[in-house]
Structure 1
Amino acid sequence: MAEAPARSLLGGDPLAAVELFPLRYPWAYAHVQQAKHNTWFPEEVPLHDDVRDWHERLSDEERRAVEMFLGFFNPMESLVTTNLLLSLYRPITAPEVRLYLARQAWEEANHTMAFEYVIKTLPVDRARVFALHTDHPDVAAKEAFQRRLIEGWLVEPDISTVEGVQRLCHNLIGFFVVLEGIFFYSGFALALAFRQRNLLRGLCSIVDWVLKDESLHLSFGIHLITTLLEEHPEIMTPAFAQTVQQLILEAVELEERYNRAVLPQPIIGLSADALNGYVRYVADRRLEELGLPAAFGNPNPLKWMATQLDVPELVNFFEARNVHYEVGRERS
């Protein structure tokens, strides 16, 4: 068997032609193969029952929560696309890893179109929804957190120094682990709580498909970050580890404040306290996936969410495939 070419994640020719085999990072190619099966289009989901729910079954507080959900997700999905293309694609040159980044960028664009489809179909206050990420302080604070990670890297996009690779790693953690693995998971729980009450089933079907994409992005991101740390062990100093932990704790604080704004009182059987308990539970899992100690010790207060996360475990991409929504299979 031919040996894998001597290359690494970073620092190759950014204009080189794609030459995949022999693979150096088979985990990246496995994610590409899985992502191909997870191809879907928003307009496959009818939303007429959701429109009826909006008019006839949702309270004012529930409609407001949906608008808050859409007002965060719609701009953040496009920000992820921007980060992939502007922050990551140039320094990360391993071809199989780039292949997945390109596929993910398509998926994020598809998510943006999916939430736009929901916004233009439901009778939401469109101007309010699109203004939330700038006008509402708790939505704006989360966006500012993410933009800081892009700007910090783009100001000095240098992988020749320890500090430069640390900035890149911060970006990876802030987007793959925090945005997609904590902020988005919290939003998914809010949205899917409506289905627990047999409401907004079309929106929740779209959220199902987005969630499965994002779970694959999270898995890929954890692999990417841990591989970067293996290839650049010099960056994982005690001070850097503390900075990473503080980054995640800051994100938890932002998300908890946002959830209290979304849920000033319980709706659809969900309170801000329960949702924030779930945020802390998820944040502990993310810290552990990065090799850091858990910070909160919270049990999962939303046991029903476990049934929503029917994706392969991080270590099982060579043995298992997600068969619940794949090209050529009927979707529920």
Structure 2
Amino acid sequence: MEKLNRAKTLEPANPNRSTGIFNGESSGILNWNDIAYPHWYKMYKRLVGNYWQADEVNMSSDVKQFSSLTDEEQDAYLKIIGLLSTLDAPQTRTALLLSLYATDPSVQSIMAVIAQQEAVHNESYSYVLSSVVSLDKQNNSFELGRKDPVLLKRNEKLMKYYNEFITNPTLENIIKSLVYSTLLEGLYFYSGFAYFYNLARQNKMVGTSTMISYINRDELEHGRFISELIRATFAENQNVNNKAMTDWVYNQYKIAVDSEIEWSKYVLGKIEGIDLQDMEGYIKYRANKMLRMIGLSEIYPENVENPMKWIKAYADNFDGTKTDFFEQKSRQYTKTSDLNGFDDL
């Protein structure tokens, strides 16, 4: 396929309302009241309403508790923070690079917010580690993404398709990069999130788990928008919306599920409170959910229900308000507006 050109910053001869997400025409002027996909304004408002800062989370109890964790819990803590930082760090750049090729200015703006939030996520991992371990151990945790063989294998496909988009920015490669973003936002984080929520239900490292709940909330919104972006791009470009692409997506999801299961066994195998069989079912459940969001069918019909229902109480829920794990409302950092509704607060 032909390489896409980067979107021009301003092109007054073109209409303000974009004629296409990629390879369309737009002046570059953004009028939120006249965009091709009006409901994306609500997605933008939800994203900016999720504002938070890492150092506003109280880590004092975690500082005291970390040394009392078992060796296995400490090891998993450091490895999972290493994993999460490996995933979030490239997301800032990837979101910005994708936006350079978007000819719809509303997509550019939403991706800019996503990129900023991913930067905050990465900062938060540095913040939590600086609260509980020495600089040497912090650095070792961040080295895992470059050196740990299991983690390198797990991230192999992600690196491949992200880098192929950079070297050859065709529409097909952009879609493949977006698909891997859905895997990252909607699947790859979740064994790590489960670990911290499991600690929280034992009243351990609650500060870290609170931080993770904010990150989790953001990633839910990111995954939702990226899924919408894929569906809209397919609808606009029927030449890439074909069986070969669909088969590729299904195959990548299966590969991702297998690698996530392998990783979870590696990092959670000795952790009390997490059943690895349930974890496997949970990973497949997440894969089914993300496939539905991008308009495809489930591939694990036996995993349509969440087998780890206890997680519902911990995602974005440290103020005691029970919410559904995957459809929850934002908590105290969200500003009241007509888009979130007074009755929901």
1:45 is matched by which residue type in structure 2? V
Tell me the amino acid that sits aligned with residue 167 of structure 1: N
Q: Contact 2:76–2:268 (CA<8 Å) still a contact in 1?
A: yes
With the length of structure 1 as denominator, give the TM-score of the two structures: 0.87
Equivalence for 2:164: 152
Letter in 1 for 2:114: Q
What does 1:1-332 align with in structure 2 at a 5 Å threshold? 5=17, 7-12=19-24, 16-56=28-68, 58-86=69-97, 88-123=98-133, 125-158=137-170, 165-175=171-181, 177-265=182-270, 267-296=271-300, 297-298=302-303, 299-307=305-313, 308=315, 310=323, 322-327=329-334
Partners of 2:179 and 2:230 within 8 A in 1? yes
Asked if 2 retains the 8 angstrom alpha-carbon contact of 1:138 and 1:254, the reply is no
**What's the CA shift string for 1:47-98, capped at 9, x where partnerless?**
1111111112x10000011011101111211111111122x01211211111
Task: Give the total of aligned pairs.
Answer: 311
Deviations 1:144-164 (A, max 9, x none): 222111111122113xxxxxx
Alpha-carbon separation, structure 2, partners of 1:90 and 1:132 = 30
Specify every segment of 5 or more residues in structure 2 that has no aligned partner in the other structure, as ranges: 1-14, 317-322, 337-345
Superposition RMSD on alpha carbons, in Å? 2.3
TM-score, length of structure 2 as denominator length: 0.84
Q: Percent identity of the aligned residues? A: 24
Are the aligned partners of 2:128 and 2:208 in contact in 1 as well (CA < 8 Å)? yes
CA distance in structure 1 between the aligned counterparts of 2:212 and 2:26, rounded to whole angstroms: 35
How far off is 1:7 after superposition? 1.6
The Cα shift of 1:200 comes to 0.5
Counterpart of 1:91 in structure 2: which amino acid? Answer: Y
Which is further off, 9-18 or 177-186?
9-18
CA contact 1:281–1:300 (8 Å) conserved in 2: yes
Residue 264 of structure 1, CA deviation: 2.5
| Superposed displacement of residue 133, structure 1 | 0.9
Q: Kindly tell me: are residues 205 and 226 of structure 1, through their superposed partners in 2, closer, same or farther at Cα, counting changes over 3 Å? A: same
How far off its partner does 1:167 sit?
A: 1.7
Unaligned runs of 5+ in 1: 159-164, 315-320
Higher mean alpha-carbon deviation, 114-123 vs 271-280, is at 271-280
| Larger CA deviation: 58-67 vs 226-235 | 226-235
Provide Cα deviations, 1:260-299, integer angstroms capped at 9, x if missing partner. 110232x230133222221011111122222322222224
Distance change in 2, residues 1:6/1:75 (3 Å): closer
8 Å contact from structure 1 (residues 45, 205) kept in 2: yes
The equivalent residue for 2:320 is none
